[in-house]
Amino acid sequence: MTQYKTIEQFKLAVVNMRLMLPTVMQIGARNSCAKMATEIKKRVTVDAVSVHGDSFSPYSKRHITEKIKSGASPLGKKVDKKNFYYKGYLWATFAVQKLELNGDKIHIGVDFSGNNETMPNVEVADWQNAYEHDAGTLAKEHSISDPNGHEVEQLMKEIEAELYKNINKLLGTATTPSIP
């Protein structure tokens, strides 16, 4: 509070902060969600791991042969387990589609958008989810693109750090706690 000469100046700074905070938090939350989307994409397309931490079901022998002939997927050489990355069109559209701040709640929608050559990408993802549900590697209530516990925890830490950073910036203080 060293920059404020009177309590009225501090009160005015608090009022201004309360007016600006929703806007800066929406930007910060969107950036944090975009990072989470990148982590989900990596977990699925590079590591070939489900929301539960299990490997996805194997590709068909025909598909493996095609991937090997084509030099495997651009995101890695895995051909034994599904990584849902054939040409990359689907995952190129995976991003934050909706973000709303409502009081102290954040509503986030991270999903696929657009279309591939034959159908909407959301339907392609649903079709791929059905294969994993049938194979027993993914619970019916989950999607290949759902965040896991670690990804959600990391998102919350980043949003909390963003909140402290923006409060400090708007108030002109330096009291950010250390966030691991």
Contacts of residue 116, defined as CB under 8 A and 6 or more positions apart, other chains included, come to 89, 90, 124
Delimit the domains of the chain by residue range: 7-171
Is residue 177 scored above 60 in pLDDT? Answer: no
> What is the pTM for the complete model shown?
0.75
Tens of pLDDT, residues 99-155: 887 777 778 888 888 887 778 888 888 888 887 877 777 777 788 888 999 999 999
Tens of pLDDT, residues 3-50: 778 888 888 888 888 888 888 888 888 889 999 999 999 988 888 888
